[in-house]
Structure 1
Amino acid sequence: RLQGDQAAKLVGYMRDGEFLDSATERVTVEAVTFNAQRNVFAVFAFSFDWQTDGKIAWEYEIQSVAVDVYPEPARLAIEVLCVVFLLLNCLSEIYDILECVRKFRVKEYLGSVWNWIDWAHFCLMWAGWGLWVQHARAAAAFDMRPAYRVLAAPASETRARFFKTDPAEEAALLGMVAAVRRLADGLAAYSIVTSICVVLFVLRVLKNLDFQPRMGLVTRTLATAWSDLVHFFGLFAVVFFGYACVGNLLFGHQYESMHTLNHACQFLALSLLAFDPNGMWVQMRHAASNWAMQLYVWSWILLAFFILLNIFLAILVEGYMAVKHDTERARGVPEDLADLLAHEAR
């Protein structure tokens, strides 16, 4: 409920009280908005960092969360069905373990990477459902007042104290903001877990399609080229990490994209996918000698892009050709489906 002149006075009071001075390193501004039509809250956090070179770097974080987690009853029914299928899948995997124990094939079961992927998927799925239940219960218990009268009415206070607050109302507002942030953090954690579950589910689908020669091209190609890929990634890691260290030493003192080793690794990875000299050429040229910059950039492009990436593609193509040669006369999915339908028709 602050007006522009009141907000300016508030900043002035913060300076007079030495909450803001020359030693201030960061100022964070937080706000919560509510969309009544969508029943969605959004938490905004804007941070301003005073850097040693005089610049003010700013960053923001936005999280949104819907309080009504079940706008349609059908969603709850679908979730219950998914839990039932997950339980059946876990029981089927437990049955496979018991069969391996009975046939003394436990070592073979534990030696399969795909079985570990299955159990990782199961564990993350149950963890995701646990997070969702926790989030749904917190959303159901969430309550918000129509208004929070934190500031005292200007008409009943002197002009020098128009920032006076009601402690009870202020505590209620801060509690509501904290509850919204907890809901947003819980939903973010749930989204991360479910995203990993989707990736693992895709891997499991590829594993289950491996029985069909034509549909198993991806998994069989990777299995054929596995040994060469391991050696390649070891070599690539040495080159990649070495160039990241050199980039941090040469340009990290001025170029923000390489001011830490982590940022240098991200820059090199992105430069392989989308090399954009307009965004880095001038800054890198002023951060180090021109000949050093030229040698670094062009040697990285030559070694990483033209040599290492092409070796990587050659390994995959060689593995694919070997698998393709073995499955040239294999039956495809349409032929298998036609035989299945013909058999059922009899």
Structure 2
Amino acid sequence: MQAGGVCDRCNFCIVDKLNSYNGICPIDKCPGSGGYPECINATTFLGRITDKCSDSYDFEVWKFGAQGKSPTIIPAFTPKLREVTPYNRMVGAVVVSQRRRKKQTCIPNLIRNDIKRYTESVAAGVSCPSTQGYDGTPYGYDPTFMPFSGIYNGKLRPEEFYAPSERYTLVDANGHSSLSYPKGFFPHQYNQNRLDLNMDGMLSPSELQADKLTPVSKNNSQIVSSSVNTFKLYFDERLTQKQADAMVQFAKDGKFIDSQTSDVTVELVTFNAVHGLFAYVQIFFTWDSSGNIGWNYQLDTFDIDGILYPNAFTIFLMIFVLLCLCLNCFMEIQDVLTQARKFSLKEYILDPFNWIDWLHFTFMWGSIITWAFLFNVASRFSINEYYPILFYGPKYSNSTRRQSFFEAPVAANKPAQARFFRTLNQPEYDFLVFINEMQELASAVRIYSGFAGVSVVLFIFRLLKSLHFQERMGMVTRTIHLAAVDLFHFVLLFIIVLIGYAIVGYFLFGQEYEGMKDFSSSAKTLAIFLVSIDTTQFYASMQHAGGDVSLQIFLWSYLFIAYFILVNIFLAILVDAYATVKEGTDNASGLLTELSSIIFHGIKRQLPLGARFISDQRFKSLLAKAKNRVDSKNQIKQNVNKLMSNRKAILVPGNLQIDKHTLQRILRNNSGSVHPEDNYLSFQGFDDEAIFELIERYGTDISTFQEQKNRDLKEFISLENMRRLVAMNLVQNEIHEDQKEILQYLRDLAKTKVVSEAEGGRAAARRESESQVAIGSLSLTILSASNLPKMDVIRKSDPYCVAYVDGEVRQEIFMTET
């Protein structure tokens, strides 16, 4: 209280002058209002105190310490043991980082005028996130000076902690501006200590006058480029639970997260001294423009000492692997050169297992290179004893800054009473450099682990390839090789089905079910359905998004096609191929049998069997000697070229073929010098090797054409034989019809003649019977008939037998059935 009973200026002004009473006190906090007592003249109370209070007292320092030694007014800082979990100590601080999108209007993105008017109906309009970088403008509020906040402190004044440029400005209807709440959050590059020259935690009037004259950015040596325009909150290891809760309340009430938030990352580093392991944890929160907040996390652990100082066994393994890799690469290069000399380089390239070999070499060398990079990063790694990032007040007593007896001093061993997240520039820079080193280490470890992991998988594939020579141990590779064509077409069919259902799933359920929010997520979810279906993870969301009927049709049709049909087709392809391979290896020797034969062979080599046994090595040497007695390599090459050239020819329009001999005759018969008039070049100086090279370059293997020609000829002959059989059949049908007509004519003629003869015969018989007497009887038995001619062309023959008695009248007496 000042003389005359006038209140001092209140320390909790919200807006200077705007909310003041007589330019001194806020209206709602004046004496007698707002729950505060009226101003009382303290002279009456001070008069009752006989002892005079003083701000300073004389005393001898040596009574409280060793004489001649300066006393410790403020104890030195000692790092606290902050364990996140047992044995895992927090390093430095927990960092919460935010990047903010710039604002831009959404109106240009809209087409309909009524929607534009609706969007513009709100006072500030609707802002859309910009993709042009991030916003580094200070924002938010310091809730220490906001009466509604739980951490509001009415005894503090904003001008003691914030410069005018660090506070919001309000303009009234008359155009008068007034300072309002201070801003709460500042980007990394902003220097929050720029005006506090003596670093006592408060701003004096003389320091405030330098507001517009002092740069707002830190020195370049204290700025981490990757953190520019990033707003960071630090919770260092000195905080108590109560202090940390107050700082969380500060971030909440101060609007740390608002509509411009793009992403928030929480970072934490721990160290486990038991195992010597650092752990780097990152938790990511991402604000989508659709309103969804996605999250993810990443945990990386690494042993710095294990990287820099490996044990003897690890060093031995590393050297052994490196030597094996060099030897293997050398042998593979020799194999390539051998295939090139044999003119089989194309077959070598088309072999998929050779691609696996080179892919394995690539990842192995990648593992070595990334390990060297990891070693280099680990060698540059360093850590400080502690990181006092947050500003904890002055480093000395500030009693001289107190303006009145009742004003609480800012203590050096306590956090700041306002501006909680103010940091010290150099410790913050050191800690961010440490965090960047942790990120670089984590990235190097992930890359190295990726290369090493893929190398192990490819090594397994190469091991399976190396076992291909043994029929029983190579059943996996033989099965895959036999089923390769069917598997390729199956994969194409499966991809078609998966793409179709992924598109349908995205359109039906993507607006609500996160697993199908885009095409790639939908495809992954459908692939997971084939392995595991947990209805609790997707059923409710998909049912709400697309309806129960759509879900049932989509789900069961996909399971029927993809699971019950395609998966079983896949298994059937493998089982069928395996059955074929297994059938071919039933009589093959097993691995143990072959190993035992090799062992017995080695034993026989050591025994004195003489001429009774020829070892494999001896047999190989004999073959090598026989090989040395044959033609030279050039002769062999010429013979091979000759044999191969006979199979190739140059095809020209008109279905003409030019083989080696024809090409030799064309080139050498027309040899001579260059003739400018016809632009003809002599080939006289080229030998058979050059002609063979031309055949190889432009020739085509005519054996395939000859085989095709033979197949065409066989097909033509088959068609010609069929045509002749059809023609013969038609002729036989015509002959058969003619035979039927002739036979019918003969039957008619025979009936006419038989009737006349029968009438004459009966008359003669009557006359003879009248004149003759029977002299005996004749018995006839018909047994069989053979070698009868085939009278029908198509049907089987139906022969019959007719018996006659010769006499004066030839009479038919019996006829068998057909």
CA drift of 1:298 comes to: 0.9
DSSP-derived class of the 1:280 partner: helix
Number of matched residues? 346
Q: Choose from 170, 173, 184 the match for 2:442.
A: 184
Matching of residue 224 in structure 1 with residue 482 in structure 2: yes
Tell me which protein shows more helix as a share of its residues: 1
Q: Does the CA contact (< 8 Å) of 1:15 and 1:21 recur in 2?
A: no
DSSP-derived class of the 1:160 partner: coil
Matched residue, 1:237: 495
Matching of residue 305 in structure 1 with residue 563 in structure 2: yes
Q: Which moved more, 1:195-204 or 1:105-114?
A: 105-114
CA drift of 1:326 comes to: 1.4
Matching of residue 85 in structure 1 with residue 343 in structure 2: no
Q: Does the CA contact (< 8 Å) of 1:135 and 1:187 recur in 2?
A: yes
Query: 1:142-181 alignment to 2 at 5 Å?
Result: 142-154=381-393, 155-156=411-412, 159-160=417-418, 163-181=421-439
Query: 1:62-141 alignment to 2 at 5 Å?
Result: 62-68=299-305, 69=307, 70-141=309-380
DSSP-derived class of the 2:269 partner: strand
Q: Which moved more, 1:9-18 or 1:166-175?
A: 9-18
Matched residue, 1:24: 261
Matching of residue 264 in structure 1 with residue 526 in structure 2: no
Matched residue, 2:279: 42
Q: RMSD of the TM alignment (CA)?
A: 2.1
Q: Does the CA contact (< 8 Å) of 1:229 and 1:315 recur in 2?
A: yes
DSSP-derived class of the 2:423 partner: coil
Q: Does the CA contact (< 8 Å) of 1:149 and 1:169 recur in 2?
A: yes
User: C-alpha distance in 2, partners of 1:277/1:18?
Assistant: 39
User: C-alpha distance in 1, partners of 2:564/2:539?
Assistant: 20
DSSP-derived class of the 2:295 partner: strand
User: C-alpha distance in 2, partners of 1:10/1:202?
Assistant: 54
TM-score normalised per structure 2: 0.41
User: C-alpha distance in 2, partners of 1:63/1:160?
Assistant: 36
User: C-alpha distance in 2, partners of 1:330/1:61?
Assistant: 51
Q: Does the CA contact (< 8 Å) of 2:392 and 2:416 recur in 1?
A: no
TM-score normalised per structure 1: 0.93
User: C-alpha distance in 2, partners of 1:161/1:249?
Assistant: 49
CA drift of 1:16 comes to: 7.3
CA drift of 1:159 comes to: 2.5
Q: Which has the higher contact order (CA 8 A, sep 6+)?
A: 1
Give 1:89's aligned amino acid.
N
DSSP-derived class of the 1:159 partner: coil
Give 2:527's aligned amino acid.
A
Q: Choose from 541, 550, 555 the match for 1:283.
A: 541
Higher Cα Rg, which structure: 2
CA drift of 1:152 comes to: 3.4
User: C-alpha distance in 1, partners of 2:379/2:570?
Assistant: 51
CA drift of 1:188 comes to: 0.5
CA drift of 1:158 comes to: 5.5
User: C-alpha distance in 2, partners of 1:52/1:83?
Assistant: 50
DSSP-derived class of the 1:41 partner: strand
Q: Choose from 200, 209, 216 the match for 2:458.
A: 200
Q: Note the alpha carbon deviations across 1:170-191, whole angstroms, 9 max, x for none.
A: 1111111111111111010000
Distance 1:295 1:170, change over 3 A: same
Q: Which sections of structure 1, spanning at least 5 residues, go unmatched?
A: none
User: C-alpha distance in 1, partners of 2:326/2:316?
Assistant: 16
Q: Note the alpha carbon deviations across 1:210-230, whole angstroms, 9 max, x for none.
A: 001101111111111111111
DSSP-derived class of the 2:383 partner: coil
Q: Which moved more, 1:258-267 or 1:54-63?
A: 54-63
Matched residue, 2:140: none
Matching of residue 334 in structure 1 with residue 592 in structure 2: yes
Q: Which moved more, 1:28-37 or 1:46-55?
A: 46-55
Q: Which moved more, 1:16-25 or 1:171-180?
A: 16-25
DSSP-derived class of the 1:228 partner: helix
Distance 1:56 1:101, change over 3 A: closer
Distance 1:249 1:54, change over 3 A: closer
Q: Does the CA contact (< 8 Å) of 2:391 and 2:416 recur in 1?
A: no
Q: Choose from 5, 26, 33 the match for 2:270.
A: 33
Give 2:337's aligned amino acid.
L
Q: Does the CA contact (< 8 Å) of 2:247 and 2:420 recur in 1?
A: no
Q: Which sections of structure 2, spanning at least 5 residues, go unmatched?
A: 1-237, 394-410, 605-818
Matched residue, 2:740: none
Q: Does the CA contact (< 8 Å) of 1:110 and 1:116 recur in 2?
A: yes
User: C-alpha distance in 2, partners of 1:253/1:134?
Assistant: 44
Q: Does the CA contact (< 8 Å) of 1:31 and 1:43 recur in 2?
A: yes
Matching of residue 324 in structure 1 with residue 547 in structure 2: no
Q: Does the CA contact (< 8 Å) of 2:371 and 2:448 recur in 1?
A: yes
Distance 1:106 1:172, change over 3 A: same
Q: Does the CA contact (< 8 Å) of 2:377 and 2:441 recur in 1?
A: yes
Q: Which moved more, 1:334-343 or 1:28-37?
A: 28-37
CA drift of 1:51 comes to: 6.0
Distance 1:314 1:5, change over 3 A: same
User: C-alpha distance in 2, partners of 1:2/1:202?
Assistant: 52
